[in-house]
Structure 1
Amino acid sequence: MSEAAPLDGELSRLAELHGVATSYSPSPDRTVAASAGAVIAALAALGVDASGPEAVRTALADRERDLAERLLPPTVVHWADGAGIALDLPAGTRLEVLTENGETRDDVRDLPLGVHLLTAAAPDGRTARCHLVVAPARLPAPGARSYGLLVQLYSLLSRRSWGMGDLGDLAALADWAGRTAGAGFVQVNPLHAAVPGAPTDPSPYRPSSRRFPDPVHLRLESVPEYTADDSLVERAGRLRSAVLDKGALIDRDAVWELKREALEAVAAVPLAPARQAEYDAFLAAEGQDLTDHATWYALAEKYGSEWQRWPEELHDPRSPETARARAELGDRVGCHSRLAWLTVTQLTDAQRTAREAGMPVGIVHDLAVGVHPGGADAWAQRDVFAAGMSVGAPPDAFNARGQDWGLPPWRPDRLAASGHAPFRRLLRGLFRYAGALRIDHVMGLFRLWWVPQGRPPTEGTYVRYDAEAMLALLALEAGRAGAVVIGEDLGTVEPGVRETLQRRGVLGTSVLWFERDWDGDGRPLPPDRWRADCLATATTHDLPPTAARLTGEHVGLRDRLGLLTRPVEVERAEAAADTTEWLALLTRLGLLAAADAGDEEAEIRAVHRFLLRTPARMIGVWLPDTIGDRRPQNLPGTWDQYPNWRLPIADARGRPVTLEELMGSGRVHDLLEVLRKG
């Protein structure tokens, strides 16, 4: 079924040639035409004038001529299992490759893995140069099947935390989980650098920068240059006690204010020779990216955390005025550079601790889908971002109004022209300390829903990316790091995407409550019919904890917050029927004894026994599930109605639980023993 009228033929053709969709399918049996306004706005963000019929004809002629005359596309991909580089070139065209190691080759066969420069010279005098990505056929596999813990790091407080979980807590959890519980990995939320300010946006999925981590996660006592300050330690203790003992929410801003004060003193301490050598190597390796990052944070201290409101001459990171400001703020730039190094160092130490504890994977880091429009990345890479656009999701069966995530998208044309350099550097930075990488909304490697600013999400359209090039770079960088990649592929997924990801070795994500026979009777999917190449879990940070789902408390929460669109009785009945179906399957499979019906802890153990029955390569356990926590860490559709991203892990009664208590809990031990035995 098709809805709305198709666009004008020339506009549709122009959009197609620039990767802009003119329709989308919210379900297999529906096709909805994109509005002309959305298509024109997306083209404008790509530098294409489609404002009227004459402009469309001119732009279309220019694009068709450019495509007809070009010798090479911006990026060429060669997979190591392929027969060779397939190019449609005039007979007699000479090829030359400059490898990333500086070697020149006339023979384009048997090239090393890497990102090289390919030059073509045609007999008619035309020449062209493009990036050539030679990638391994598949990404690294996770090896032997393992289970791991999923946790939002800020929520995991120990008796040493300064009011929120930190990298010392992460290392301690990994060490205990690997040595004592036989876990193979710990997955955390994005630890990207946040936008500074008060109040700071607590969501880890809308950071200032994905390129560098946030120093708020530092364990101060593990920094060699740190000297304890009794006043700071006392204030940190009060913050910690307020959360753990008095029921206060996690106050990231208050934690950062304390740590910032301590880190200012740390940054003034000269480094020992060996430490200085390590820092110098870090500065050299990170180069301009780190300089830009630190410059933005120094400027944000002076002018505020939205670069669009700075003096006009500072909007360009390469302007002479920005260079002068950088020099004037040299001490602050140096301070922020050192904080980035300290944080990367502790992240690397956490991964080392995990591997030394016997974890085959270690720490699984999370890559957010985008960044804040006013933040460091959007400023430093402004030429690569699409002005006037925001990423979101189209209307579907679950959200008739669509979604606008407030994240500026990368321009696919600028990415391709650079050889996808920002993406390559982002991956390389993360893989410095990641045993695996989870990519949020992995479908964004293929296409993203662009929403013109000021318009509702219903008036957006999809824009396509060079998925093959991005997957090749992902395979290349993951292969160099020996790291696994997990794609969050929940929700509406374009046909063929999951198959492509699976073919290249990107694991998917399967959540128990969503795994039903949607093409058949709609009943819960038996474990032997689950896919193998996935991370299988019972829940995620955006969903109710398992205890809440089993008891139906998640419906009550949404009712209290006014989020239900149907009578609460209908919602309760539907949720209860869903849970009853799953529990019945668990009982039929012998995973839940009839005598244990209604026993919450037994039912949660049975849910995880079910996950072990599937062929999934990785099994994830939501850490709050181990202790009976009822509260989701994030409740989509809410902002100030619910304390998203600010809750400590708590037990079934809502009492905050420390890392030390978790490690000593009989309930936690009983569940993890089920998984350890496999």
Structure 2
Amino acid sequence: MIVTPERVALPEAVRSSPAWGLMTQLYSVRSEQSWGIGDAADLAELGSWGARQGADFVLVNPMHAAEPVPTMEPSPYLPTTRRFLNPMYIRVEEVPEMGYLSSAEHQMIEWHGDDARRLNGLADLDRDSSWEAKQAALRIVFRQRRTQRRHRDFEEFCERAGQGLVDYATWCAIVVDRGLPWSDWPEALQDPRSPETAAERQRLADEVEFHSWLQWIVQRQFADAQRELTAAGMSVGVVHDLAVGVHPGGSDAWALADVLAGGVRVGAPPDDYNAAGQNWSQPPWRPDRLAEQAYAPYRDMLRTLLQLSGGLRVDHIIGLFRLWWIPLGKSATEGTYVRYDHEALVGILALEAHRAGAIVIGEDLGTVEDWVRDYLTERGLLGTSILWFERKDGSAPRAPETYRELCLASVTTHDLPPTAGYLQGEHITVRDELGLLPDSLEETMAEDERQREAVLSDLRSRGLIGEQATVEEQVNALYRYLTFSPARLLGVAVPDLVGDVRTINQPGTDEEYPNWRLPLANADREPLMLEDVMVSRRAKRLIRAVGSRR
């Protein structure tokens, strides 16, 4: 019997006054101390700076773990597991055991750090090289003897994480030893409960402990970041992101095979934007097996993320109601909807959020049954409103005053270019170069210009911009425009603070475009450091436009 609250309550500060915050792809926001990739310490630095500007939250991309060996999947939305975090985000220098290393060991770690910091100068992010350097350094720290106090803390962490951590760490250890995919392992090792797997766990005990230790460290660093942000004055703090599913070759697919439909992949049916439909390459939960296990894998996943944050964004929250199942070997057009017990899934989500004192934001964009949004609102879950998608009669922009109150409103999302790029047609140019436009370039640009001009015209009629407004002035005005909405939360994309124009992810592509590999950059497409953001006059002007909401 699982008893769930009727509603998820908003924090008092958000109930009494609308809040704004930052939205970022953390890996892309690097400081001078980063090892080629933005990390938990960078999150704390960015968030503390944001708190001083009046921000109440920082929404980050999914922190879920990727492969422990090259090649690491660049998309944070296709992880190996949704329960455990990516140790790539550890700041090595902030692991307490660093203080007990010998001079020679310190020197070795500094060499690894020097190599990794050189990656900050690359045009594209290099996760594999960053993780290679970081992993080598962390293995040195791991071998250092821990104090009794720290050792007890690690043991208690492992005990709380239970069998899930044992399975994840075992999978990582075998991957390091035997490689991927795990479907190529001996048949007995493909079963996490087999005697052979238990023997392999014993043989690789030190490696299993290392990957358990990495989880202890990375989760502690994210918990520290959350404490720092709330101490700095944020009413919410970190908002983590929950991906729709996992990689079919990942640790969850191995350890949770009894509750995942291994012969099926999740996707989307054909629509006006993609006549062939979509296949996201993710095995879905089996609703019958989830119920048989009292939703334990789902609850464990939610608890891990919620104990590290003040909120959770659920990507494609419609997946708690129904998912488009595609049998292996079939096209997306041959799939079918399979419904879930949404009262159980949403109720458990509400319960875990209530226990953690956290907010829940559902990404409910796209085709959604009307009653679903009503149901989510009744349960106290926030929706998502993106300015460019908010239209009446399918064309004219909706006035922000008519937006939902219980939502996170923003100008853009990670599947669109930053606002400066969108205003200049970056999304059209990229799709044309990749051959993804369904119509001619001229027709697409004309329609896009018509829709953008409808919004800009409303800005001019309200006196927010003049006839000759620059791109920066238009960006600031669009965010000021959103402050007229009743939305409880307003999200400011970090790329918009510095005039970045490049799309972080281009739907419909894989290697044709550097998806999830682009660092934060300025209007001239030159990489920027976090330190540049915090002294940017452009950023401060945009923050003034948003801060006027209070």
What range is the shorter-chain TM-score in?
A: over 0.9
2:462 is aligned with 1:589 = yes
Distance 1:259 1:197 in 2: 12
Distance 2:338 2:446 in 1: 40
Q: What SS does the aligned partner of 1:474 have?
A: helix
Q: Which amino acid aligns with 1:150?
A: M
1:638-657 deviation per Cα after TM superposition (whole angstroms, max 9, x unaligned)? 11111111111100000111
Distance 1:599 1:503 in 2: 42
| Aligned partners of 1:163 and 1:236 also within 8 Å | no
Q: What SS does the aligned partner of 2:503 have?
A: coil
1:400 to 269, 275, 284: 275
Q: Which amino acid aligns with 2:4?
A: A
In structure 1, what is the equivalent of residue 81 of structure 2? Answer: 209
In structure 1, what is the equivalent of residue 474 of structure 2? Answer: 603
2:62 is aligned with 1:185 = no
Q: Which amino acid aligns with 2:48?
A: D
In structure 2, what is the equivalent of residue 259 of structure 1? Answer: 134
2:70 to 198, 207, 212: 198
Give unmatched runs, 5+ long, in structure 2: none
After superposition, the Cα gap between the structure-2 partners of 1:280 and 1:196, relative to the gap in structure 1 and judged at 3 Å, is closer
Q: Which amino acid aligns with 1:134?
A: V
In structure 2, what is the equivalent of residue 411 of structure 1? Answer: 286
Q: What SS does the aligned partner of 2:299 have?
A: helix
1:240 to 108, 117, 125: 117
Distance 1:642 1:182 in 2: 36
- Bigger drift between 556-565 and 382-391 goes to 556-565
1:420-466 deviation per Cα after TM superposition (whole angstroms, max 9, x unaligned)? 11111111111110110000100000111000111110000011111
1:151 to 3, 24, 27: 24
| Aligned partners of 2:34 and 2:120 also within 8 Å | no
How far 1:276 moved relative to its partner? 1.4
2:39 is aligned with 1:166 = yes
Q: Which amino acid aligns with 2:316?
A: H
How far 1:528 moved relative to its partner? 1.3
Give unmatched runs, 5+ long, in structure 1: 1-131
2:374 is aligned with 1:505 = no
- Bigger drift between 198-207 and 403-412 goes to 198-207
TM-score by length of 2: 0.96
Q: What SS does the aligned partner of 1:438 have?
A: strand
In structure 2, what is the equivalent of residue 345 of structure 1? Answer: 220
2:309 to 420, 431, 434: 434
How far 1:397 moved relative to its partner? 1.1
| Aligned partners of 1:373 and 1:406 also within 8 Å | yes
Q: Which amino acid aligns with 1:465?
A: Y
In structure 2, what is the equivalent of residue 542 of structure 1? Answer: 415
How far 1:494 moved relative to its partner? 2.3
How far 1:278 moved relative to its partner? 1.4
How far 1:274 moved relative to its partner? 1.7
Q: What SS does the aligned partner of 1:212 have?
A: coil
In structure 2, what is the equivalent of residue 384 of structure 1? Answer: 259
In structure 2, what is the equivalent of residue 117 of structure 1? Answer: none
Q: Which amino acid aligns with 1:211?
A: R
2:446 to 573, 582, 593: 573
Q: Which amino acid aligns with 2:305?
A: L
Distance 1:643 1:530 in 2: 34
How far 1:242 moved relative to its partner? 4.2
How far 1:197 moved relative to its partner? 3.4
In structure 1, what is the equivalent of residue 353 of structure 2? Answer: 478
In structure 2, what is the equivalent of residue 221 of structure 1? Answer: 93
In structure 2, what is the equivalent of residue 134 of structure 1? Answer: 3
| Aligned partners of 1:140 and 1:484 also within 8 Å | yes
How far 1:306 moved relative to its partner? 2.3
1:462-505 deviation per Cα after TM superposition (whole angstroms, max 9, x unaligned)? 11111001111111110000000000011111231111111001
2:427 is aligned with 1:554 = yes
Structure with more contact order per residue of length (Cα contacts < 8 Å, sep ≥ 6): 2
| Aligned partners of 1:163 and 1:237 also within 8 Å | no
How far 1:248 moved relative to its partner? 2.6
Q: Which amino acid aligns with 1:264?
A: R
1:559-613 deviation per Cα after TM superposition (whole angstroms, max 9, x unaligned)? 1222212111111111111111100011112222x25x33111111110011110
How far 1:552 moved relative to its partner? 1.9
How far 1:544 moved relative to its partner? 1.5
How far 1:387 moved relative to its partner? 2.3
Q: Which amino acid aligns with 2:41?
A: G
- Map 1:115-134 → 2, pairs under 5 A: 132-134=1-3
In structure 1, what is the equivalent of residue 403 of structure 2? Answer: 530
Distance 1:262 1:232 in 2: 5
| Aligned partners of 2:237 and 2:310 also within 8 Å | yes
In structure 2, what is the equivalent of residue 564 of structure 1? Answer: 437
Distance 1:673 1:231 in 2: 45
Q: Which amino acid aligns with 1:644?
A: N
How far 1:243 moved relative to its partner? 3.6
Distance 1:225 1:232 in 2: 13
Q: Which amino acid aligns with 1:557?
A: V
Q: What SS does the aligned partner of 2:464 have?
A: coil
1:332-356 deviation per Cα after TM superposition (whole angstroms, max 9, x unaligned)? 1111100000000001001001101
2:519 is aligned with 1:648 = yes
Distance 2:167 2:179 in 1: 16
How far 1:237 moved relative to its partner? 3.7
| Aligned partners of 1:195 and 1:305 also within 8 Å | no
Distance 1:579 1:586 in 2: 11
Q: What SS does the aligned partner of 2:199 have?
A: helix
Q: What SS does the aligned partner of 1:576 have?
A: helix
How far 1:374 moved relative to its partner? 1.3
| Aligned partners of 1:182 and 1:676 also within 8 Å | yes
In structure 2, what is the equivalent of residue 109 of structure 1? Answer: none
1:392-434 deviation per Cα after TM superposition (whole angstroms, max 9, x unaligned)? 0001111111000000011000001111111111111111101
Q: What SS does the aligned partner of 1:479 have?
A: helix
2:332 is aligned with 1:425 = no
Distance 1:602 1:399 in 2: 34
Distance 2:119 2:256 in 1: 40
After superposition, the Cα gap between the structure-2 partners of 1:264 and 1:496, relative to the gap in structure 1 and judged at 3 Å, is same
How far 1:238 moved relative to its partner? 4.6
| Aligned partners of 1:536 and 1:616 also within 8 Å | yes
Q: Which amino acid aligns with 1:155?
A: S
Distance 1:240 1:570 in 2: 45
Q: Which amino acid aligns with 2:215?
A: A
Distance 2:247 2:357 in 1: 30
2:542 is aligned with 1:676 = no
Distance 1:337 1:423 in 2: 20
In structure 2, what is the equivalent of residue 356 of structure 1? Answer: 231
Distance 2:428 2:190 in 1: 47
In structure 1, what is the equivalent of residue 198 of structure 2? Answer: 323
How far 1:235 moved relative to its partner? 4.8
Q: What SS does the aligned partner of 2:84 have?
A: strand
Q: Which amino acid aligns with 2:481?
A: F
| Aligned partners of 1:196 and 1:305 also within 8 Å | no
Q: What SS does the aligned partner of 2:157 have?
A: helix
Distance 1:629 1:237 in 2: 27
- Bigger drift between 261-270 and 138-147 goes to 138-147
Query: Of the two, which has the highest radius of gyration?
Result: 1
Q: What SS does the aligned partner of 2:366 have?
A: coil
Give the structure with the larger strand fraction. 1
In structure 1, what is the equivalent of residue 333 of structure 2? Answer: 458
Distance 2:412 2:120 in 1: 25
How far 1:231 moved relative to its partner? 5.0
Q: Which amino acid aligns with 1:647?
A: L
Distance 1:644 1:502 in 2: 33
> Percent identity at matched positions?
50
Give the structure with the larger helix fraction. 2
